[in-house]
Amino acid sequence: MAAPDTATAPRAIHRLDYRPPAFLVDSADLHFDLDPAATVVRSTLVLRRNPKAEDRHAPLRLDGEGLTLLGIKVDGVPFPKTHYTLGEDGSLTVPNPSDILVLETEVRIAPEENTAFSGLYTSGGNFYTQCEAEGFRRITFFPDRPDVMTRFTVAITADKARYPVLLSNGNPAGAGDGEGGKHWAKWEDPHPKPSYLFALVAGDLVAVSDYFTTKSGRDVVLNIWVRAGDEDKCAYAMDSLKRSMKWDEEVYGFEYDLDVFNIAAVSDFNMGAMENKGLNVFNTKFVLAKPDTATDGDYQGVETVIAHEYFHNWTGNRVTCRDWFQLSLKEGLTVFRDQQFSGDQGSRAVKRIRDVRGLRAAQFPEDAGPMAHPVRPDSYIEIDNFYTPTVYQKGAEVVRLLHTRIGAQAFRRGMDLYVERHDNSAATIEDFRAAMQDASGVDLSAFAKWYEQAGTPEVTAEGEYDEAARRYTLTLRQKTPPTPGQPEKRPLPIPVAMGLLDAGTGREQPTRLQGENEARTGTRTLMLEDAEARFVFEDVPAPPVPSLLRGFSAPVKLKGLPLDQLRTLAARDTDPFTRWDSGQQYAAAVMLGMVAAHRRGEPPGFDPALAEAVRANLAGADADPAFAAEALPLPGEGFLADQMDLADPEAIHLVRRHLRRRIGAECADALRETYERLADTGPYSPDGASIGRRSLRNACLAYLAAAGEDGMRLARAQFDAAANMTDVLAALSLLAESEEHGPAALAAFHARWRGDELVVDKWFSIQAMSAQAGTAARVRELQRHPDFSLRNPNRVRSLLGAFASGNPYRFHNRSGEGYALLADAVIALDPINASTAARLVGPLGLWRRQAPPLSGMMRRELERVLAAPNLSKGTYEKASKGLA
């Protein structure tokens, strides 16, 4: 095994080492002379010693990375070389600065060589920036940390013909023509901001424009900047933006605070999008949508990400983070807000189900793996590695816990207080909790543990009915398994929203806890604060079925509910989340039994209750097709694997396939009837009800195709006739599993869509996620396809990410070739785009979840990655923690 060289191993940054900055920046005037090979950036910073700094004589240190220094002046006078030093890390230090100084620097950078897409880079001949978390230091020398907030003015000069559009943060403040075919534009951002929110976009772009009138009557110009030809794909993004602006005014009182809101879409982007002040930069995937190229899921992604970035204007930009350990202060809160928004646009229950599904698929495994970390981490080597499901999704769940604990009204007062206290400044997670506590008068100190402790708590319930006393005692227990660096866990405050159903009739019962005067109807919340708590219910006429964790009231695993209780809840509970979840947990329990039988070499058997549930679901589907569509499919392979001590991806896949075939055959008539009844009639619409009908119909088709050739023919017909990408892709993903239909359908799809890069991504993904035997080899081959490139993050994710994270059966192929191809790709990608490489390596780190010999093969590939020369900090961190 490659022993990490401790002398050169990258250093970790620790939360407790935080110190206030030595200098503050009152203003930053930047000038860009744009050129892909040699852009010159002139910066004038007005710097002032921070009165709150601990060391009143500390040197002035400015971050920098890969900058060629062309000139430097202090207070207008050239600064001698003896008065400053350039560090090996690229930083600039002035050992003896005066307390107030004006520092001018001129640097050269090469945007076209920037393949990491951090800092200023080119894509498709245009210029874009990405500065979160630490990209601004690749543009100019600056204290590149979020607690330094500055007023920026930006002037951009560039060739007018090649770069007709010149954008930056804030409001436009002048434009004109210069010499030699150049032109210029000036932007002023009146709001102080940290450097990570800086943005510049320049190039040959066209705008789709609209406007929004704020609640105080100001008109804001809205522009979405795209490449010519993409204008017809911006309507849904614009509509989502306007709805987000309105919602944030209505629900939180937050009004937009500039004259213009610009969004620029770019094909080369490491993440989803970025909330730069007044100039959001978006991955095209989360802007561009029209019915024939985007699926319902894509439309939902556009709505969510547009809302998310817009909501950051107040939670993130106006109030920002003191340091990167506080990342969830803006991300958890903003995800919570975008989840609330999307819930309000359609069905709250269905939205909640989807969010929980996402949390379980991505965050629970992270919390159980080598990269497990608290929502507020204690240390990191590379901050890019901490833009995680834990910081985002679990962070949002923790905000929701506070919301549940104090109620919506107090939460709103808490938000007002938080902004009143911290507007235009950099805050901490503690500040947020303090505002919620002060506004509500509720002691929230115990909730701090949710931010400090990693791992998913496991909750068990035990009920005891005393017939003579008509008393039901519910005992709840919690336990959190150890995570790296945190062997001992403390109990957390867990709100358990619940009710009691009558076991016989399935009806909801009023509940009265011992000591209460009156019974309550409907859901109530019990607080489990210690390792164990007992709740005694009085006047319970018959043995009840407890319905627990309604609405998924806490991010925990509720374990060990008896099968008969799950069945009652799945059929009868009044809470839609619990109804859905109980159905899934029931199916999971049955399937895990089948997996065990398969491993013993026994026939898998069949539980007719599963087919009955499908029939019952279809019979009641008209009332809420979107809910029915969530309840119809069997639990996913990942969800099942997570419930086993050691995963067995092959057994899980075979059992699931067997069951889908069996249910498809047994319920064929009902499935077919629903499929036909829901045949599309009108034009495409992305509203929740229409999406629900399409999802339900495609879920029926999936069962029918699993059952045999009749279903496959139906899929082929849908593939040929469908007018929207949702239905085309649903059919194609089924056809791709068939040796007979797959190749022709895939070829036709590629021929039709080869010119649309987001659709070509789908073509790669479908093949990467196929259960067919040759998939790993096919993924290798596809890396040599002329449309594949390691340089485009969307393409990398669509092929390699989809294979490693979305196809457990074939990724964990016994030959080990899946692991080897992933390691090869990580090693090749790391020098090009380290942050995407570090994300890609993640699945190999989960080797402890597999049984030998798979675990050993995975570990060896991870060692091979770690041994690669000049490995980036980020990939080093992921690989070394995976092996620790």
Binding site for ligand 0A1 (CB under 6 A): 130, 132, 270-275, 308-309, 331, 384, 387, 835
Count other Cβ atoms within 10 Å, centred on residue 246: 14
CA angle 181–183–188, rounded 5-degree value: 170
Helix (H, G, I), strand (E, B) or coil at 667: coil
CA torsion angle 829 835 838 842 (round to 10): -120
Which two tokens mark 533? 């708590």
**Residue 284 contacts residue 294 (beta carbons within 8 Å):** no
Binding mask 334-373 for Zn ion (x = CB under 5 A): x---------------------------------------
CB of 177 to Zn ion, least distance (A): 38
Listed ranges 328-336, 495-503, 581-589, 708-716: which one lies at the site for Zn ion (CB under 5 A): 328-336
Query: Nearest approach, Cβ of 535 to Zn ion (angstroms)?
Result: 38
Q: Which is nearer to ligand 0A1, 140 or 304 (CB)?
A: 304
Q: How far is the CB of 269 from ligand 0A1 (least distance, A)?
A: 7
State how far the Cα of 761 lies from the Cα of 764, in Å rounded to an integer: 5
- Which option in ligand 0A1, Zn ion, none does residue 575 bind, with CB closer than 5 to 8 A by kind? none
Rounded to the nearest angstrom, the gap between the alpha carbon of residue 144 and the centroid of all alpha carbons in its chain is: 24
Q: Which residue has the tokens 């398994």?
A: 481
Residue pair 356/462 in contact (Cβ under 8 Å)? The answer is no
Shortest Å, Cβ 358 to ligand 0A1? 15
Of the pair 109, 333, the CB lying nearest ligand 0A1 is at 333
**132 or 355, CB closer to ligand 0A1?**
132
The partner in contact with residue 270, picked from Zn ion, ligand 0A1, none with C-beta cut-offs of 5 to 8 angstroms by kind, is ligand 0A1
Q: Which is nearer to ligand 0A1, 277 or 308 (CB)?
A: 308
DSSP lists the bridge partners of residue 44 as 29, 104
In the complex, least distance from residue 344 CB atom to ligand 0A1, rounded to whole angstroms: 20
Query: Cα–Cα distance between 441 and 810 in angstroms, integer?
Result: 53
Whichever of 147 and 275 has its CB closer to ligand 0A1, that residue is 275
Whose Cβ is closer to ligand 0A1: residue 578's or residue 792's? Answer: 792
Q: Which of 728, 27, 519 is nearest to 715 (CA)?
A: 728
Burial of residue 250 (number of CB atoms within 10 Å: 0-12, 13-18, 19+): exposed
Q: Are 531 and 509 in contact (CB under 8 A)?
A: no
Cβ neighbours, 10 Å, residue 695: 23
Q: Which is nearer to ligand 0A1, 387 or 753 (CB)?
A: 387
From the list 170, 135, 145, the residue with the least C-alpha distance to 24 is 145
* Site track 283-322 with Zn ion (rule: CB under 5 A), x = hit: ----------------------------------------
The two structure tokens encoding residue 221: 């110009």
Q: Taking contact as CB under 5 A, which single stretch among the options 333-341, 375-383, 599-607, 729-737 is the one that binds Zn ion?
A: 333-341
Q: Smallest gap, in angstroms, from Cβ of residue 507 to Zn ion?
A: 43
As a whole number of angstroms, the distance between CA 352 and CA 553 comes to 11
Which of ligand 0A1, Zn ion, none sits in contact with 724, Cβ below 5 to 8 A by type? none
Taking the complex as a whole, the smallest distance from the CB of residue 286 to ligand 0A1 amounts, in Å, to: 9
CB of 130 to ligand 0A1, least distance (A): 5
Which one from 132, 309, 650, 877 is the annotated catalytic residue? 309
Residues contacting Zn ion: total by CB under 5 A:
2
Looking up tokens 């920098």 gives 64
Binding span for Zn ion by CB under 5 A among 111-119, 235-243, 331-339, 727-735: 331-339
DSSP state string for 311-325: HTTTBTTTEEESSGG
Q: Which residue has the tokens 């319902």?
A: 296
User: What does 569 bind: ligand 0A1, Zn ion, none (CB cut-off 5 to 8 Å by kind)?
Assistant: none
For residues 638 and 588, the answer to whether their CB atoms sit within 8 Å is no
* DSSP letters spanning 76-107: TEEPPGGG-EE-TTS-EEESS--SEEEEEEEE
Read off the tokens for 764: 């790669």
Which range, of 129-137, 276-284, 329-337, 449-457, touches Zn ion by CB under 5 A? 329-337
**Both tokens assigned to 149:** 């907030």
- Give one DSSP letter per residue of 572-615, joined into a string: H-SSHHHHHHHHHHHHHHHHHHHHHHHHTT------HHHHHHHH
In this structure, the number of other CB atoms found within 10 A of the CB of residue 486 comes to 18
Instruction: In angstroms, give the least distance from the CB of 447 to Zn ion.
Output: 22
Rounded distance, CA 878 to CA 380, Å?
A: 10
- Give CA–CA dist 415/322, Å, rounded: 18
Only segment of 332-340, 452-460, 490-498, 745-753 that touches Zn ion (CB under 5 A): 332-340
Q: Report what 351 binds from ligand 0A1, Zn ion, none; CB cut-off 5-8 Å by kind.
A: none
CB 400 to ligand 0A1: min, Å: 18
- The option from Zn ion, ligand 0A1, none interacting with 127 (CB < 5 to 8 A, set by class) reads none
With respect to Zn ion, which residue has the nearer C-beta, 334 or 584? 334
- Which partner in ligand 0A1, Zn ion, none is near 274 (CB below 5 to 8 A by kind)? ligand 0A1
Beta-carbon-side half-sphere exposure of residue 545 (alpha carbons within 13 Å): 26
- CB of 335: closest distance to ligand 0A1 in angstroms? 8
309 is catalytic: yes
Q: Which is nearer to ligand 0A1, 741 or 839 (CB)?
A: 839
How many CB atoms sit inside 10 A of residue 869's CB? 7
**From the list Zn ion, ligand 0A1, none, which binds 387 (C-beta under 5 to 8 Å, kind-based)?**
ligand 0A1
Q: Please, what is the angle between helix 327-345 and helix 429-440, to 10°?
A: 60
Q: Which two tokens stand for residue 26?
A: 């009152």
**Nearer to ligand 0A1 by C-beta: 130 or 223?**
130
Phi, psi of 212 (to 5 degrees): -135, 130
Measured from the CB atom, the residue of 130 and 568 that comes closer to ligand 0A1 is: 130
Query: Crossing angle, helix 395-406 and helix 408-422, to 10 degrees?
Result: 120
Nearer to Zn ion among residue 310 and residue 447 (C-beta):
310
Do the Cβ atoms of 538 and 470 come closer than 8 Å? Answer: yes
CA angle 126, 129, 130 (to 5 degrees): 140
Tokens encoding 219:
């008109």
In angstroms, give the least distance from the CB of 310 to ligand 0A1: 11
DSSP summary character for residue 485 = T
Bridge pairing between strands 219-226 and 206-213: antiparallel
Closer to Zn ion by Cβ: residue 233 or 312 = 312
CB of 103 to ligand 0A1, least distance (A): 27
Binding site for Zn ion (CB under 5 A): 331, 334
Catalytic sites, residue numbers: 309
